[in-house]
Amino acid sequence: MKLQEITKDLNITCDFDIEVFGLNTLKDASANQISFLENTKYIQDLKDTKAGAVFVNEELKNEVPKDTIALVCQNPYIALAMASKYFAMAIVEIDGNNPIVGEKCTIMENVSIGKNTIIGQNCIIMAGAFIGDNVTLGDNVLIYPNVVIYRDCVVGNDVIIHAGTVIGSDGFGFAHTKDGKYIKIYQNGNVVIGDDVEIGSNCSIDRAAFSSTIIKNGVRIDNLVHIAHNCIIGQGSILVGQVGLAGSTILDEYVVMAGQSGATGHLRIAPFTTVSARCGVSKTITEPKKQWAGFPMMEHKSWLKLNGKLSRLLKKDNK
């Protein structure tokens, strides 16, 4: 679309015009994409951005690089949400090529496969599975009953996905107005799953708002795990049952997250970290090979000592 077509609909004054192909983050946006800044914590990203245009408020317009168009508005996040609908993908492709299925595949009854989808060799797709448009499955993929893979997602080789799991559903993205109305941010990215990954039953892995939610090679995911939009799960990591990761969480390689643990969004967990059961990770972990527990989180040894002292205090009070 032309930039001025978008800004006219959003009632934003814009004296310049460029061809716009999508939205992206300040770090990743190119000259034909729009980005935004809502939180001053990312002011340096604004100064370094290569975006063609950026939604900003009046206070930050002078921080926009000279080669980037400042789209001044009262609420940049709401403007982004409203602009995202212009780049939303079709829910179902009406036109396109029939799916390509590789040799020695077993496709059971009641499987739906969308347009332009490519399925590798030696795959098994069981009854009730839904494989959307423009999906790519590698070789030796095993899809159990009632798995749903939304459009545009990519699955590598030697992947197992157990029953009831959903890959590529919309991330939880909404901007809210002053009067409490929620405006949907269309999730225009996808999910990319590497090789040798196993995903348990009834998991949800959300598609990215921009770019990709990424599950790297060798990851193991237990049942009932939720991975939000734009997360990156590092090679060989393990996520045990009922783990929940908020958006844009990055796990480096070989992180272990035990049952019912979780992480708030926009943080990074160092390699070979172990997060104990029910621990809540609320800040970035930079030092590798440590174990954490509790909420607020602390090193596991300290958590054990704290609980030992509390137990002794309770015993004294009961005497």
Catalytic positions are: 229
Query: Which backbone phi and psi does 66 adopt, to 5 degrees?
Result: -65, -25
